[in-house]
Structure 1
């Protein structure tokens, strides 16, 4: 059975899963979605794998357009994401309201989890290097190569998880402490594009149009994603 193949960043997993029925109705066919960090999906594309729709960071989409792999016709910014911190449900919430307080919370945590390959993980790794606490933190950090860092809160392997807010919210049994403070934050724009060689171009375009529809804005907001400024 024909389906629209989608390569989507983990930050949009909550949105796509919650809006799957609307997206499939718009496409008039099913969706076959691969969720992974943008870097991992770019590696797959670099090996010659293709889909019909890509939902990645803006920079990755522009790179694929520049290489002729995506068209410009359906390129659209979908959401702005911010990095946040979370704890296990019921655990005390550390003060992360300022950069100094956030640094103290990191050093006081038994273990901190952050992604090895995601945008948030790369940014966080650079941040702790800049703060001069990388060695101390990484000696007891949990750094998975993919997936959701908040799962390590639930199974007790860490006290504090760092990732995109929308990715943290996918995991039950955790509580959001808040956005990272000024000086530690990174805003990332996620963008959709259509593969130039898609065999279901009209259906792929319909999926992108549905994702960008005002009707889905409440879903984006529920998942912790902001609407890009126009």
Structure 2
């Protein structure tokens, strides 16, 4: 509670907690940080008086909802929250102010099975390998975690050829949702994207030796209409008072 009050005080000290200054901020956020944002966004809005209009989309990829594609079409945003290296690419392109970049959290990859199904052993690299070989079907996302699974994890485990016929990249929707329906036996995605999905059981995180840690970060587009209020939101999301909610969603706080 003390940390939350400190964060609220930070907002007030920024001169944003008055109705006269309230603005509607356009926020684009990608899957991995979304659960934390959904907890923290309303607290920021209540403390600052601003409102948040939120668009969801992946950090990369060909889907029209992907944040880079939204910006390329001319959609306006005051804040973008996404995979760090994808944000860095937008900074290189001159679309996001480099001075605004804030690191938010680390995200690790986990596995789920359908609720009620036996939980397989993934406690070691060899156990994970055998679990994937034994699975009838495997699903993974079309964002950062899925790119790693498809291009690196299967190769590192030496099972790329065996997994190719039965492993599928699932676009746009949470991987857990297709596992919950029974379309796939196991699913892998960032833990923060798996935990909110009903109808699945969380097996655990991949072993650290073959884990891929994705850093989530945020920034302010160069054409943002409300950059001052946007900075206050980013300061709040990265503040000590926000970390309990960040960790509750399966993310790991960034060491500062």
* TM-score, normalisation: structure 1: 0.91
Corresponding residue SS for 2:170: coil
Aligned pairs, number = 229
Large movers: runs of 4+ above 6 Å: none
Structure 2 residue aligned with 1:78: 104
Structure 1 residue aligned with 2:34: 13
1:202–1:27 CA distance, 2 compared to 1 (3 A): farther
Aligned-pair distance for 1:177? 1.1
Are the equivalent residues in 2 in contact too, given 1:28–1:203 (CA < 8 A)?
no
Aligned-pair distance for 1:97? 1.5
Aligned-pair distance for 1:222? 0.5
1:120-131 aligned within 5 A: 120-126=145-151, 127-131=153-157
Structure richer in helix, relative to its length: 2
**Structure 1 residues 65-74 or 156-165, which shifts more?**
65-74
1:172–1:71 CA distance, 2 compared to 1 (3 A): same
Structure 1 residue aligned with 2:53: 32
Aligned counterparts of 2:220 and 2:47: Cα–Cα separation in 1: 15
Aligned counterparts of 2:191 and 2:202: Cα–Cα separation in 1: 8
Corresponding residue SS for 1:31: strand
Aligned counterparts of 1:10 and 1:195: Cα–Cα separation in 2: 19
Aligned-pair distance for 1:86? 1.1
Structure 1 residue aligned with 2:11: none
Larger Rg: 2
1:26–1:202 CA distance, 2 compared to 1 (3 A): farther
Structure 2 residue aligned with 1:107: 133
Aligned counterparts of 1:67 and 1:27: Cα–Cα separation in 2: 31
Alignment counterpart, residue 147 of structure 1, candidates 161, 173, 181: 173
Aligned counterparts of 1:146 and 1:6: Cα–Cα separation in 2: 18
Alignment counterpart, residue 194 of structure 1, candidates 206, 220, 224: 220
Aligned-pair distance for 1:198? 1.0
Aligned-pair distance for 1:26? 4.5
Query: Root-mean-square deviation (CA), in Å?
Result: 1.9
Structure 2 residue aligned with 1:180: 206
Report Cα offsets for 1:87-123 as digits up to 9, x if no partner: 12222111112222111101111211101x2001000
* TM-score, normalisation: structure 2: 0.83
Aligned counterparts of 2:145 and 2:171: Cα–Cα separation in 1: 12
Structure 2 residue aligned with 1:162: 188
